[in-house]
Structure formats: structure tokens, C-alpha cells
Amino acid sequence: MSVLSDLTHLVERGFESSGLDAAYGKVVVSNRPDLGQFQCNGALAAARQARRNPREIAGSVVKEIAGDSRLADVSLAGPGFINLTLTDEAVAGYVSEMADDSRLGMPAVSDPLDVIVDYAGPNVAKAMHVGHLRATIIGDSLKRLFRFAGHRVLGDAHFGDWGLQMGMLMVATRERLPGLPHLDEGAGGPYAEPPSITLADLQQWYPDIAARVGDDEELAGEARRATRDLQSGRPGYVALWEHFVRVSRESQERDFADLGVEFDLWYGESTVRHLLRPMVDGALARGAAVRSEGAVVVDVAEPDDKTEISPLILETSHGAFLYGTTDLATIAMRVDELHADLVLYVVDARQAYHFEQVFRAARRTGLAAGAVLEHIRFGTMNARDGTPFKTRAGGVLGLQDLIGMVTGAAVARLEESDLAAGYPEPERAKIARQVGVAALKFGDLINNRTSNYVFDLRRFTSLEGKTGPYLQMAAVRMGSILDRAVAKGFPSGPPMPPTVEVERRLMLRMLQLPEVIDRALDLRAPNHLAEYAYELASDFSRFYEACHILTESDPPRRASWLATVRTSRRALALLLDLLGIEVPDRM
Ligand code: ARG
């Protein structure tokens, strides 16, 4: 039981005893700490409902609960606010319960769901770039959060490996390597020697052909035919495609590893390719899809649509399946084979229309069954001028270069502040990477995910303020206090009632953890974790400055402070883990 839920219970009973609905008793952390630690504003709404005077209601609730032994003070303020303050004994009691619990007072959910987090979405032939960064960082954090809550979670990269891009790559290959046996229509393979086409080649070929297909109807037709031929299993194309998939994936997995991100499933759009034909035919047979101008579509318009939502095209008049077709079949696979209850699509807000169409089509065709499908949209990472982040030359910045950039900035920061000085070189390099990646991730996750934000290397890598490196330093410092205490033979003991305000504040802050985690889960919003981690670390630093733990002469007080350090460290470590941020052993 958290403090807030206990206090809410108490105040709910106060409302009930005053003849009112318990639901008015919700207690929140006070926004006026000078008046009380917690507050309940329910009397105002209750008064409107019951046509009574709010002050009179609040006064009656206050009288009902005033005798509770956990409360040092309960008072009525303003038009009917109820302010509550805990006794220091109660604060210590709650912290002690938290300290004794392996999950810091947050039981795992009793009805776990099967959750799939679809995130990152890398594509064949494209090295990952900043556009994939937010999806990767936010998706990974949500995966960790849902898993911590106790759900059964699978993270899936949903590799982009089966659309029109594949046909374009076949055409590009024909232009560059016309003699390649894989391109012979008649030949049936086998194709023992993998063609020596590297990811670097593909990355050059792809943007070039994609741009030309846009203005050249003939070339576009060729790409469509090649896509269709690949999708219907032409052996040379399949062999080439397998090669493209392999070289792309190898490089992308390295990028993800550098970010500390791992997937449980590396399924692709192609994973469901055997389901596409039967799905489309089945939908046609059931009348859920119809033929329209040679294509097969699902009408997804709804009566109260304010803007027109056009039908989702399952199969083009040229016989090709599209991005939405594989998305729809993937929903069927996730529901039927992975028993998904909830699927979170962590994808750029610019794909909102696509997901609206796909989710509607999934409902129309009955393929979603009871699963909940959510598009977890996010804004873009911009340069200082407000345009999407690019290289100096105007190209899209590769993820590898970006990681190199933040790691370089972290090295400079560490040198500037004399951190990690004198450590062996491999350890320094590791710390720099951890700090750089933390800067990048925190710089992203601290923002409300739907907003755009500005990539600011100087600010992100700063060791002060709301940054990843600041929080890493705080965690390292907490650890080092605990290590030094162990070295001196100082035990940590039961938390005692706080005696100074900074200590009380830190303890109360720690007690907010369960609600913060709940809010982040409900809103699918890691920024609440990030914000709170920063507040916790700042309260800790004020506590640490005022209370000289290792030189404290009273052993029970020192032991109690060490318990507070230990529990704050566990809370901060949990939060950083949920944000996907590693804490170096030392800095
Ligand atoms: N590969 C896609 C892209 O780069 C993102 C995939 C998102 N996930 C999905 N199920 N459509 O745009």
C-alpha cells in the first residue's frame, strides 16, 4: 500500500461518514507544501453535487479523520481544501516498508497482459538514422516499464523488409550489376555465392532509385513488377533479398547494441508473407474487403469522421501487397500466435493516419479480436533552427555518427570535470559511451513524447541539471557513500523519523515512486519517470549536503541515514533502468 492510497482510503471513509460518495476522497501530493504534505480537493465537487457548502463538507471530513494516528495535522483551507501532514513516525514507517520490499512497495499486477511493443522499425538497405532514434529510445523504455509492472512483454523490431522498397532494390541492382545471375528470369538457382553487395552500396542505391521512381512512371512500374515477382517467390530475387536482409540486419543490430537495446523478436514485415494471400482472400470472401478499381480495399470510414479517411489498400491493381497489408497480417499473427492483449506501436506521429486506417481495418475485418492497438506517437528531434536534425551537409545523420558524437562530447565533459581521470583506458572508454548514451536517451525521454525537441549536445551532456549524466553521477555518489560505509564497518539500520526538513523531503519524495510509475504506465509516458528521477536526485543532493552521513556520531541516526541512501539509490537505479540508462560502477 502506498502512502497516497492509504491516505485516499482514510479520506474516502471520512466522506462516507459525512454521508457523501467515497470517490471524492482522492488524495494527491500537495502543491502547497507550506500548508500540508498532501491534499484532497474533493469537497468542492462533492458540494456542487450535494448542493451543500464545501467548507462545511470539508470541515466534517476533517473532524472524521483528525484522530488518525498517522496524521500530525489535518486542516481545512480556502474554499474547502483538506490539507494533510503525516507524523514523522509515519513517514519513517512508510520508508521502512519500502526499504524492506524487493519491489520498493510496488506489487506486480495481478492480471498480467500479453503486451507487444513494436518499436524502432529499422528497414532493409537503410542504416539507422536519427528518425529511428526516438522510436528506439521511447519503445525500449515502455518495454521495460510494462515488464516491471508484471506484464508479459515482447519487444519486436518489425523490420521493414517486404514492401515496394524491395522491388526498387531489385531494379537498382539490375542497373548496377546487369550480369548478375540472380536477375535472370528463367534461372532457378541455387545461388551459392552471395553477391558482393554491401550495406554501403544499398544505402547509396536506395535513395537514388527511390527519388527517380517518384518522377518516372516507367521505372515505378518496373519496381512494382519486381516487388510482385519477389513476393510471389521468384528464386533469384528471393536469394538477393535474403542477402540484403542479412547485411542490413547485421549492421543495425550493432547499432542497437551500442544503445543497449535488445529485441525479443526480430520479426519483419516478411514474417507474415504466407498470411497475406489467405488474409486478403478471406476478407474478400467475408465481405470485409471489396474490389475497387482493380485493387482490394477495406473501407474504414466511420459516420462521425470529421475528415475523410480513405480505404486501406490491401492489394494494388498490380497485385502487390503494401505496408498496411503486412501491418494487418502482423496484427492477426500477434493475436493468433502470440496471444497479444495489447500492442503498442511506438512510431513517429507522421504515421498517425496509417495506423488509424490499419487499426480500423483490423476491427472491420475482425482480425484484431479483442486486442487493444495503440499508436504511441512522438514528435521529431530537431536542430536548433527547428527543422529535423540533419548532418552539416544536409543529409540524414546516421545513428553510428550520432553515437560517436555524443560519446565524443562525453569524453570532453569527463576531462573538463576531471572525472574518471587515471582509470584504465578501456574503462574510460566504456564510461564515456555510457555517459554519451545516457545524455542522448535522457535528453529525449525528459520531453513529453508528443512534443518536438531540440537536440542540444552541450545541454544533454552537462553534469548539472536535468540530464542523464547528472543522474548517473548521483547514482554513483550514492553507491560510493554506501561502499565507504561498508569499508568503515557502518551498518545501515531501520529508518528513524526525519529530524531535518531536507531529510523529510527526500523521504516523502521516495514515497511518491508508486504513483509516478503508475502514471507513466497509464499515459505510456516515460517523461514522468525522467522528471521524477531528477527530483529525487536533487532532493538527495540537498540531503547529502546537509546531513554528513559518514561523520555522524550517533550510530542509530547514521544507520537510519544509510538506509535512506540505500533506498534512494535503489529507487534511482530502478528509474534509470526503466529509462534504459546504465550506471557506471564509478566515475
Ligand atoms: N519501418 C517503418 C518505417 O521506417 C516503421 C515500422 C513501424 N511499425 C509498424 N508496425 N508499422 O517507417
Other CB atoms within 10 Å distance of the CB of residue 49: 12
Name the closest-CA residue to atom 5, ligand 1: 121
- Give me the helices (H) in 348-397, please: 352-364
Reading the chain (587 residues) residue by residue, the pLDDT tens digits are 799 999 999 999 999 999 999 999 999 999 999 999 999 999 999 999 999 999 999 999 999 999 999 999 999 999 999 999 999 999 999 999 999 999 999 999 999 999 999 999 999 988 777 768 999 999 999 999 999 999 999 999 999 999 899 999 999 999 999 989 899 887 777 776 667 898 889 989 999 999 999 999 999 999 999 999 998 899 999 999 999 999 999 989 998 999 999 999 999 999 999 999 999 999 999 999 999 999 999 999 999 999 999 999 999 998 889 999 999 999 999 999 999 999 999 999 999 999 999 999 999 999 999 999 999 999 999 988 888 777 666 667 788 888 999 999 999 999 999 999 999 999 999 999 999 999 999 999 999 999 999 999 999 999 999 999 999 999 999 999 999 999 999 999 999 999 999 999 999 999 999 999 999 999 999 999 999 999 999 999 999 999 999 999 999 999 999 999 999 999 999 999 999 999 999 99
Name the closest-CA residue to atom 2, ligand 1: 121
Determine phi and psi for 340, rounding to 5 degrees: -60, 135
Atom of ligand 1 nearest to the CA of 160: 1
Instruction: Confirm whether pTM is higher than 0.85.
Output: yes
Determine phi and psi for 453, rounding to 5 degrees: -145, 165
Atom of ligand 1 nearest to the CA of 347: 7
C-alpha cell belonging to residue 31 = 502543491
Q: Cell match 582509470: residue?
A: 423
Name the closest-CA residue to atom 12, ligand 1: 121
C-alpha cell belonging to residue 530 = 525522467
DSSP state letter for 156: E
* Cis peptide upstream of residue 190 (ω within 30 degrees of 0): yes
- Tell me the CA–centroid distance for residue 122 and ligand 1, in Å: 7
Name the closest-CA residue to atom 7, ligand 1: 121
Q: Are strands 114-119 and 342-348 parallel, antiparallel or unpaired?
A: parallel
Three-state SS for 152? strand
C-alpha cell belonging to residue 256 = 542497437
Please report the sign of the dihedral spanned by the C-alpha atoms of residue 492, residue 496, residue 501, residue 504.
positive
530 and 110 Cβ atoms separated by less than 8 Å: no
135 and 256 Cβ atoms separated by less than 8 Å: no
Q: How many CA atoms lie within 13 A of 148 on its CB side?
A: 24
DSSP state letter for 272: G
